[in-house]
Structure 1
Amino acid sequence: MSSMSKFRKLAGISAFAFAAMTAVNSASADNWRYAHEEYEGDVQDVFAYKFKEYIEDNSDHTLQIYRFGELGESDDIMEQTQAGILNFVNQSPGFTGSLIPEAQIFFIPYLMPTDMDTVIKFFRESKAINKDFPKLYSDKGLELLKMYPEGEMVVTVDEPVTKPEDFANKKIRVMTNPLLSETYAAFGATPTPLPWGEVYGALQTNMIQGQENPIFWIESGGLYEVSPNLVFTSHGWFTTAMMANQNFYDGLSQEDKKLVQDAADYAFEKIIVHIDGLAEEALTKIEEASDEVTVTRLNDEQIAAFKARAPQVEEKFIEMTGKGGEKLLKQFKKDLEKVQKE
């Protein structure tokens, strides 16, 4: 499917799909519904289908999966999950940040390492991830089942960037996330919140001059076609979260709760294998598809210029989240320090 075809496909919630979904809801409690934010074959889609595989191989339950655009944008599928229409949802903290401000911690630049082994170990062992975040999600009617990384963030721009000053007068698309806006303001750009469905067209018409995403998503969404200069800034990893409607989860039998938890663990292990080498594969596809693409990898000195602007984003995070956020950040850093020492 071409990039433009993917975007044309998104036209809000399909009345037919919505009607079919709600009909199934009333017909069988054993047919569960799961929506995510990505396209066929992307990381969240692979995770969802591994989750489905485990559920259906180990029970009589079935799982219906809805991909990006089939039930609307990210905000739509979260609302449907909170309303109990969907049982499961996969949504990144970039969109959950307005609901759970502390989830924006993943958008503090240069907080997370970028080498995969350290990142994976952090997600496995972090107290902040595995103990503190579930409580924050539960307070919003969501059972957090798994947080997992998708890939290093890469910026695409209308021309190569090597220093903060290069971002001057450039509108960079950000998710509807206040802290991410703060990050790009600190980097010297003009942050421009846009829903995903509008990004390709906005780049094509020069309404915006850049955006950030993992490289596999840049390839899958065809963003390099309209924003061909790829900049590896080493400022963080894209993180996502898979969760369930709290009332639905609480109403499950102990056996089914264990089934769901085991399925999430199974999908996590499979996705870690899947993302290993995925970025390199996606970059190769991009370079083979376009002669216009440039790749800029910042050196240590160049990174230091961007990293020097990170503390003001951290201060903003604490301002937004108060003492609770400050405590979470301390735990986050403690967890990172531990895995980096090991």
Structure 2
Amino acid sequence: MTKLKKLVGACTVAMATLGATMTAEAATWRYAFEEAITDVQGVFATKFKEHIEANSDHSIQLFPYGTLGESADIMEQTQAGLLQFVDQSPGFTGSLIPEAQIFFIPYLLPETHAALDHFFRNSKAINEDFKETYAEHGLELLKMFPEGEVVVTTQEPFDKPADLDGVKVRVMTNPLLVESYKAFGATPTPLPWGEVYGGLQTNIIQGQENPLFWVESAKMYEVTDVITFTGHNNFTTAVMANKNFYDGLPAEDQKLVQDAMDSAFNYIMEYQKGLGERSLEKILEQKPEMEVVRLTEEQRQPFRDAAQEVEKKFIEMTGDSGQALLEQFKKDLKAAQAQ
């Protein structure tokens, strides 16, 4: 009987030790992003969370826009190791990583979903060159993906750069985006996102740019009267990890993270098909008088011409590294458009 008690006691201790070890290995990872949980970044993050939690003992804690501050705040928290993952557009990261501003050269990215999909999956510039650049800033670049065609919402219609003279258009705190709207004839006005709705409401600014799903979600249609399709860009975002955290993960956890990123990317590319059209329908249901303008190729040409100046500004800002990145970008884009 004494031997049995000792055996049971030993087994209990062993199981308790094993349980403690498993608990120690399981972790809660914190992931912040710049949109609501129901927006594109939130949907991507949710799919990432689902894959991690279905295939490991780890859990993911999600922090949508505003819960931990503005974009600059969540980047600082990630670099400090308070957050393990962050989803942030190059629009904000561009101040930290000048080369990331390449996504704001107008009319550079392809306009079709198929070409975008091929580009983001296969681009050497994105999947190799950018990873090295981000690593220099303590960040592990995990995935970049497009969120949708950017439209411009304003109080008054425009179809040429001269129409934007004196129009204050809100832009992210991104030097190249400022240059883009200067080239387009407008007065670019950098503002944190939390100030945009009120700025439009009080006429401090008269326009802003975003994908249609965000125009609908953030109710930008309530404080602007015209949606203009210029075809100048597709909003891009990037998911990053704190590099010290990522490098410290065992190989199986690094693979888990990469697999979860791939799963979320595949889902979000399918999810986006028709998202812009659905968002526009919702906007027009809420505000039937909203004017929708689609610039013709002839009307877009002056804006395309202006983009050449923005490209030169990008090279001035980034030097040889930017020039090399742009050349690789164009090779990757040519391959994508050939598909």
TM tier, shorter chain? over 0.9
Amino acid corresponding to residue 40 of structure 1 in structure 2: I
What's 2:12 paired with? Answer: none
2:281 counterpart (279, 284, 305): 284
State, as a whole percentage, how many aligned pairs show the same letter.
64
Q: Distance in 1 between matches of 2:25 and 2:68?
A: 20
What's 2:38 paired with? Answer: 41
1:293 counterpart (283, 290, 298): 290
Secondary structure of the structure 1 residue equivalent to 2:240 = strand
2:315 counterpart (300, 314, 318): 318
Q: Distance in 1 between matches of 2:254 and 2:25?
A: 18
2:147 counterpart (121, 146, 150): 150
Q: Does 1:166 align with 2:163?
A: yes
Secondary structure of the structure 1 residue equivalent to 2:270 = helix
What's 2:253 paired with? Answer: 256
What's 2:182 paired with? Answer: 185
Cα offset, 1:163, TM superposition: 0.6
Secondary structure of the structure 1 residue equivalent to 2:254 = helix
Q: Distance in 2 between matches of 1:338 and 1:29?
A: 42
What's 2:263 paired with? Answer: 266
1:200 counterpart (197, 201, 204): 197
Q: Distance in 2 between matches of 1:266 and 1:83?
A: 27
CA deviations 1:28-62 (Å, max 9, x no partner) are: 87001000000121000000000000000000000
| TM-score normalised by L of structure 2 | 0.92
CA deviations 1:77-130 (Å, max 9, x no partner) are: 000000000000000000000111000000000111211111111111111111
Q: Does 1:75 align with 2:72?
A: yes
2:130 counterpart (133, 136, 141): 133
Q: Does 1:119 align with 2:123?
A: no
Q: Does 1:61 align with 2:85?
A: no
CA deviations 1:4-32 (Å, max 9, x no partner) are: xxxxxxxxxxxxxxxxxxxxxxx987001
Contact 2:144/2:236, CA 8 A, preserved across alignment: yes
Q: Distance in 2 between matches of 1:74 and 1:50?
A: 22
Secondary structure of the structure 2 residue equivalent to 1:291 = coil
Contact 2:171/2:208, CA 8 A, preserved across alignment: yes
- List gaps (5 residues or longer) in structure 1: 1-26
Q: Distance in 2 between matches of 1:244 and 1:341?
A: 32
Amino acid corresponding to residue 82 of structure 1 in structure 2: Q
CA deviations 1:124-167 (Å, max 9, x no partner) are: 11111111111111110000000000000000011111111110
Secondary structure of the structure 2 residue equivalent to 1:308 = helix
What's 1:13 paired with? Answer: none
| TM-score normalised by L of structure 1 | 0.91
What's 1:236 paired with? Answer: 233
Q: Distance in 2 between matches of 1:312 and 1:61?
A: 48
Contact 2:159/2:295, CA 8 A, preserved across alignment: yes
What's 2:86 paired with? Answer: 89
What's 1:5 paired with? Answer: none
Q: Does 1:213 align with 2:204?
A: no
Q: Distance in 2 between matches of 1:214 and 1:165?
A: 24
Q: Distance in 2 between matches of 1:340 and 1:28?
A: 45
* 28 and 208 in structure 1: CA distance in 2 versus 1, 3 angstrom threshold: farther
| Alignment coverage as a number of residue pairs | 316
Amino acid corresponding to residue 113 of structure 1 in structure 2: P
Q: Distance in 1 between matches of 2:327 and 2:125?
A: 9
Moved over 3 A (4+): none
Secondary structure of the structure 2 residue equivalent to 1:86 = coil
Larger radius of gyration: 2
What's 1:102 paired with? Answer: 99
- List gaps (5 residues or longer) in structure 2: 1-23
Contact 2:26/2:57, CA 8 A, preserved across alignment: no
Q: Distance in 2 between matches of 1:97 and 1:149?
A: 16
What's 2:334 paired with? Answer: 337
